[in-house]
Structure 1
Amino acid sequence: MTARLAVDIGGTFTDLALERDGERWTAKVLTTPAAPERGVLEGVRVVLARAGLAPGDVALLIHGTTLATNAIIERKGARTALLTTEGFRDVLALGNESRYDQYDLNIDLPQPLVPRRWRVTVPERLDNEGRVLLPLDEAAVRRQVEFLRAEGIEALAIGFLHAFVNPVHEQRAAAILREMWPDLPVSLSSEVSPEMREWERFSTTAANAYVQPRMASYLHRLEVGLREAGLTCPLFLMLSGGGLTTLETAARFPIRLVESGPAGGAIFSAHVARQRGWGEVLSFDMGGTTAKVCLIDGFTPQASRSFEVARVGRFRKGSGLPLRIPVIEMVEIGAGGGSLAHLDAMGRIQVGPESAGADPGPACYGRGGTHPAVTDANLLLGRYDPDRFAGGALKLHTGPARAALAADVGDRLGLSPEMAALGVVEMVDENMANAARVHAIESGKGYGGRAIIAFGGGGPVHGCRVAEKIGVDRLLVPSGAGVGSAIGFLRAPVAYEVVKSLYQRFGSFDLGAVNALLGAMSAEASRVVAEGAFGAATVEHRLAFMRYVGQGHEIAVALPARALAEADVPAIRAAYDAEYTRFYDRPVPGSDVEILAFAVTVSTPVDAIEPVAAVTAAPAPPPLRTQSVRDTATGEVTDWAIYDRAAMPAGCSVRGPCIVAEAETSTLVGPGWRAAVDGLGYLELTREKA
């Protein structure tokens, strides 16, 4: 069997996972922010050397990255303009006029990616059914193109009113632009996000244009570098919704990659949950820059069709830029190993969202960083062995970490560097626990009976304490947890979702129009998937997004994956009433239902799962050594045993407090916890009852 390779670029580390014939090799190298492809190529070299494989042995490479997200958050995208319908220049700034905090008189709202000077209009108008009310003024388009060229614009978004119904004017404007300026990247709202609600549609299209030049350039450089290194295999990109797509599609719609790395982590957790038969879990992924939490029910991560990026208010819905893309729903906060600690104006310890990243990194990296990060705090608490961090690839320096914590936190509070470190770690753990609480509350769920699946470089380090804070008594650390998102890429299906708007009411349902639309959407999704399915069978899922007439939000209802018949129409209406009742206890009698949009997803099937092998009790190996560790719950310093995870056989167990060390991460087993190795080699931590 040929090998499959996955690469995940994070803000601090680039993670790699290589699988062949049931064996797995992993690597973790520092990300190279100035040219991310360099870190990828170095990681590929390292992991192939560990496996003893040649580049030609790799049959498939799957890649995920947060580069698109970072470009939006850091405002480092292209100089982007928006061409829109006359009279709608300020849609991006007006939004839907809602305020995420209605009582804040000095509210800070997210600024559009396109400044007003570069939001230009032309006369044209379609009605809500796509009929032409005012033809496109082509001369005005040409004048605006000349203006934008003089302004040095690097990318253009075109968003006209009601273009999601009829794209003719957007397509003609794009044709004129390509004739006059063939090298300019252009994004059409009718292709990027063909759904109603112009603010979300324009915002998504502008964001796509904003990151497209940078992402397309990066993907091209990566492809060239991989080919020069001898990898001739197909290259696929992880989508935010949990599927894989081709490099060409990713370069055209890079906005669909904004959560590709975290999506891999959620897929990884869902796969592990299926292996263990755990129907309800919390995915907890803590990396170098951020921490992500995601609820998984029925072995499937929560999904959404909308997402906010670059929120100006932490945990505040409505404080970010809206994106209408298929996405795995999760909460992401600036709480990673590189997140910087500081004191606010009131003298309180704060952690993140600023990060030391990979360059210069935390102070303990010895690469020039002078401000304390979470990794510095963990080092001073005794949680890391400075000579064995990241498998020994990166030596940590205690002196700079102690100096940074004293200067930025300890001295002002009258605390020793070690006690300042305790405050920093306790604060970051509380931030992550609070994010998990908010996520559950917003989803109408709780943590009773749930387990946590912890991974990423920091997830197993902080998992026990976060579990204690949210009331969870069971924690699982899979093998390869330090590169969990990359492993998740290898578990993801080749999939693509197409969403389009077609307004319908059940009182006047146009069966022919709906079937024609769904058929075209199915064909479009199937074409994309066929490029990477290698002849494998595919499955199709269809949804309709419905609401009672007059309501403001929709509910998704499953449709048969075939042409609809007349008998299906009342059955779909009944299914909506049942789904609405599940959400809100009772339907609304006598009210008609309207459909705003349809979604079609085509994917390769999910691999079958082998049951977990039963294990018999086995003795635990002796600890490698002991290490002085300060417990964050009590502040006490005691000697903790250090175990080598690779030496722990299935069926053995150890009692906390102790640390189970491996190359990419360490699992902290706190006081009152016990860790056992299951038949898959996973560490299952359970809290012992007092």
Structure 2
Amino acid sequence: MQHRLAVDIGGTFTDLVLEAPGRSFSHKLLTTPDAPERAVIEGARLLLASAGVAASSIALVLHGTTLATNALIERKGAKTALITTEGFRDSIEIAYEHRFAQYDLTMERPAPLVPRALRYTVPERIAADGGVLLALDEAALRAVCAQAKTDGVTAIAICFLHSFTNDAHERRAAGIVAEMLPGVSLSLSCEVCPEVREYDRASTTIANAYVRPLMDGYLAGIEEGLRALGVAAPVLMMMSSGGLCTVGAARQFPVRLVESGPAGGAILARYVAAQNALPRVLAFDMGGTTAKLTLIDGGKFHMARSFEVARAYRFVQGSGLPIRIPVIELVEIGAGGGSIARHDALGRIQIGPDSAGSAPGPACYGLGGTSPTVTDADLLLGRLDPELFAGGTMKLDMAASQVAFTAMGAEAPVGVAEIVDETMASAARVHAVENGEDTAGRTMIAFGGAAPLHAARLAQKLGIERVLVPRGAGVGSAHGFLQAPIGFEVVRTRYTRLDTMDETALEAMFAEMRAEAEGVVLQAATRDGLVETRTAFMRYRGQGHEIAVPVTQGIGAAALHDAFVTAYRGIFGRAIPGLQPEIMTWALSLSRPVADPAVLVAPAPAATPAPSHRRALTDPATGLTQDAAIHHRDGLPPGAALRGPALIIENETTTVVPAGWSATINAAEQIVLEFTP
């Protein structure tokens, strides 16, 4: 019997799912931040033992982690240096030359990952067309290497001007650095982000260099630990784009893993949407540290070419570090079960973005935490049963939660629940508007350990009347990894005018890009069933930003012009006569798609078992406290139905069914909540 193991490391919990034909097993345990691989190995050992499965029967391991993200946010990466073109050491500090909060006189920009003293420059210059204006000064570079050794640098990012058109200087520099500084981790912008726009390219390359030693050691430890456990299967890593890559590719480009966990959750939501034939979905993922919201329309994600990580100023755009990689577009905020609550200077309730994490954790965990958190509020509101949390393996201390909230007042838990839900609702509204969409009328798919607790109330705030909670929602991202396609994307900036486009040269470039993508994909898949997707990022001449235009194989200049006009008109409502389009960047994606599941058939009505017991549940929407029926999810068969107030409890999460809502179990054992006042 062949099995697959999926592992998702979050800021608070590590989730594991073991899949076999026709069945699955899951386990959730606290993350071990000092050595994240320890929780993975321990969780895998416990899960295999409880499932009665031999480690040798694991055929594939799928893994996503927030380790790279947390290293960037917490500034706990390697001591990193930048080697760049003479005169351009301050480009990463100048950034876009604008203020993200123009009326805040005390505004501070986020500090670059590389301090100015570690930004080394070398005389060299490549022109925008790839010509060599000034040869690389190798003597100066060797002097820089000597200085880097003195400074104790362990990672270096090399980013020369216009290296995306001619990488000769970066390649030669890498050879000299490797010779003089053996063991120092190198990241080249011509490999990490060979695209136009100097600041974005440098920021992405530096971020990759900053987390690479950490991720390299961690991934080596994971593979070693799994082998010691008896798991000889290959390990594939979840990327922020929603595809899977090999560990080798992940160790070279760890920056592509920055949003790997949320991407897994989005894939799960798309799978559930396909099962239920849902055209418009809002995916809601809330764990112990953050909450993520994603729009899915017509079975497709909203994709982006770049995003910001570690936003330092109230999550305002422009206050973080730009990362230019393919990513599923989502909004992520510091609102999780472990988010700490407090009163600000004006006496208002403030939630997060800091989190109690797994150590010490919320006060009710009894692990030393004393700050009031969202989880403590949920416990005091009756949303969590202290005896049944985590399948009864972890008893919650209600008295500790009460003590934690003493300073905030007896009514604070209701306020905390309302504030955190309103914060998430505001983020969802802004995210929808930025994508030209709306939240009303959508179906919400809720997963993550804390999302089913808050889903119904959040849905009310967003004008959503139906919520789906998948089976195993508490470990939803890990389930999503099991549905992810193997794939990789290669990008090249090659400025091209349609009136001078060389189709033969273009096909040669795509052949090189395909070969690079195959170098990753074929390590984990065969050629059979691979799908190649080409994209041109185009704009009208004189514009500052591009739009994505699909490119078919062998497309000519005239057809590409028409495709651009169609895409432009679809976004902006009109084309611009008299202006000529141009292409800045080309992308090639190679993947093995996963087939959509069959649409579910409604089950016959089934008798609903009597509740196991009842407990007081406070509804923040009304402030009323009522007796809620407690049901165990395993005891609810497909076709069962019940009305709120009720709690549906499973090992990894609890679904709150407020008064005015009903819950039914569909054919896939998913909970369907509907607002039926």
TM range (shorter): over 0.9
- 1:404-483 superposed matches below 5 A: 404-407=404-407, 409-410=408-409, 416=410, 419-483=411-475
- The residue type paired with residue 341 of structure 1 is A
Residue matched to 1:242:
242
Distance 1:612 1:340 in 2: 40
2:498 aligned residue (502, 506, 519): 506
Give the aligned partner of residue 654 of structure 2: 666
Count of aligned positions = 677
Matching residue of 1:413? none
Per-residue deviation, 1:457: 0.5
Q: 2:282, 2:602 → 1: CA distance?
A: 24
**What is the CA–CA distance in structure 2 between the aligned matches of 1:163 and 1:137, rounded to whole Å?**
16
CA distance in 2 between counterparts of 1:630 and 1:686 reads: 19
Match of 2:4 in 1: 4
CA contact (8 A) 1:454 1:463 kept: yes
Give the whole-Å Cα distance in 1 for the aligned partners of 2:212 and 2:439.
39
Identify if the C-alpha distance between structure 1 residues 5 and 536 changes in structure 2 by more than 3 Å, giving closer, same or farther. Answer: farther
Give the C-alpha shift of residue 391 in structure 1.
1.2
**TM (normalized to structure 2)?**
0.99
Do the aligned residues in 2 keep the contact of 1:28 with 1:664 (CA within 8 Å)?
A: yes
* Cα distance, 1:393 vs structure 2: 1.9
Matched, 1:529 2:517: no
1:50 shift after superposition = 2.2
Alignment of 1:270-669 (within 5 A): 270-407=270-407, 409-410=408-409, 416=410, 419-534=411-526, 536-560=528-552, 562=553, 564-565=554-555, 568-669=556-657
User: What SS is found at the alignment partner of 2:482?
Assistant: helix
CA distance in 2, matches of 1:438, 1:611: 31
Q: Is the 8 A contact 1:612 1:680 kept in 2?
A: yes
Q: Is the 8 A contact 2:499 2:557 kept in 1?
A: no
Equivalent position of 2:142 in the other structure? 142
Amino acid corresponding to residue 607 of structure 1 in structure 2: A
SS of 2:446's partner is strand
In structure 2, distance between residues paired with 1:306 and 1:151: 32
Higher mean alpha-carbon deviation, 510-519 vs 63-72, is at 510-519
- In structure 2, give the amino acid aligned to 1:640: A
| C-alpha displacement of 1:607 | 2.4
* Partner SS, residue 522 of structure 2: helix
State the Cα distance separating 1:547 from its structure 2 match: 0.4
Residues 251-288 of structure 1 deviation map (CA, whole Å, 9 limit, x = unaligned) = 11100000001110001101111111111100000001
CA contact (8 A) 1:37 1:222 kept: yes
CA contact (8 A) 1:81 1:155 kept: yes
Alpha-carbon contact 2:496-2:584 (below 8 Å) kept:
yes
C-alpha displacement of 1:96: 1.5
Distance in 2, matches of 1:643 and 1:580, equals 52
Moved more, 27-36 or 94-103: 94-103
Distance 1:612 1:649 in 2: 15
Q: Distance in 1 between matches of 2:594 and 2:288?
A: 30
Answer yes or no: is 1:265 the counterpart of 2:265: yes
Q: Answer whether contact 2:123 2:136 (CA < 8 A) is retained.
A: yes
Letter in 1 for 2:14: T
Q: How does 1:135-284 map to 2 (within 5 A)?
A: 135-284=135-284
* Residues 275 and 610 in structure 1, CA contact (< 8 A), matched pair in contact too: yes
SS of corresponding position for 1:576: helix
Offset of 1:536 from its aligned partner?
4.3
Check conservation: 1:381, 1:630, Cα contact below 8 A.
yes
Q: Which blocks of at least 5 consecutive residues in structure 2 are unaligned? A: none
Post-superposition Cα deviations, 1:146-180, rounded to whole Å, max 9, x if no partner, equal 00110011100000000011110000000001111
Does residue 106 in structure 1 map to residue 94 in structure 2? Answer: no
3-state DSSP class of the match of 1:314? coil
Aligned partner letter, 1:558: P
Structure 2 counterparts to residues 7-26 of structure 1, below 5 A: 7-26=7-26
Query: 2:393 and 2:136 mapped to 1: Cα distance?
Result: 60
3-state DSSP of counterpart to 2:53:
coil
Q: Which amino acid aligns with 2:257?
A: L
2:104 counterpart letter in structure 1: D
What displacement does 1:318 show? Answer: 1.2
Separation (CA, whole Å) in 2 of partners of 1:549 and 1:667: 53
In structure 2, distance between residues paired with 1:41 and 1:405? 36
Amino acid aligned to 1:310? A
TM-score by length of 1: 0.97
Equivalent residues of 1:108, 1:312 under 8 A apart: no
CA RMSD, 1 decimal? 1.0
CA contact (8 A) 1:315 1:435 kept: no
* Corresponding residue SS for 2:422: helix
After superposition, give the CA deviation of every residue in 1:434-457 in whole Å (9 maximum; x if it has no partner): 111111011110023210000000
Residue 430 of structure 1 aligns with an amino acid whose one-letter code is E
- Name the structure 1 match of 2:669: 681
* Contact 1:55 1:229 survives alignment (8 Å): yes
Distance in structure 2 (CA, Å) of the matches to 1:634 and 1:364: 25
Structure 1: gaps of 5 or more residues: 411-415
Q: Given that residues 239 and 256 in structure 1 are in contact (C-alpha distance below 8 angstroms), is that contact kept between their aligned partners in structure 2?
A: yes
Match of 1:618, SS state, is coil
1:268-319 deviation per Cα after TM superposition (whole angstroms, max 9, x unaligned)? 1011111111111000000011000000111122111101001122342111
State which drifts further: 612-621 or 572-581. 612-621
SS of the counterpart of 1:556?
Answer: strand
User: Which residue of structure 2 aligns with residue 55 of structure 1?
Assistant: 55
Q: Distance in 2 between matches of 1:547 and 1:599?
A: 15
Give yes or no for contact 1:155–1:210 (8 Å, CA) kept in 2.
yes
Residues of 2 paired with 1:98 and 1:662: CA distance? Answer: 49
What amino acid does structure 1 have at the position aligned with 2:35? A
- 1:478-524: CA deviations, max 9, x gaps? 10100000000000010101111000011221222221111111111
Q: How many Å separate the matches in 2 of 1:405 and 1:573?
A: 62
1 CA distance for matches of 2:78 and 2:242?
27
Q: Structure 1 counterpart of 2:578, which letter?
A: G
1: CA distance between counterparts of 2:577 and 2:536? 20
Matched residue, 2:91? 91
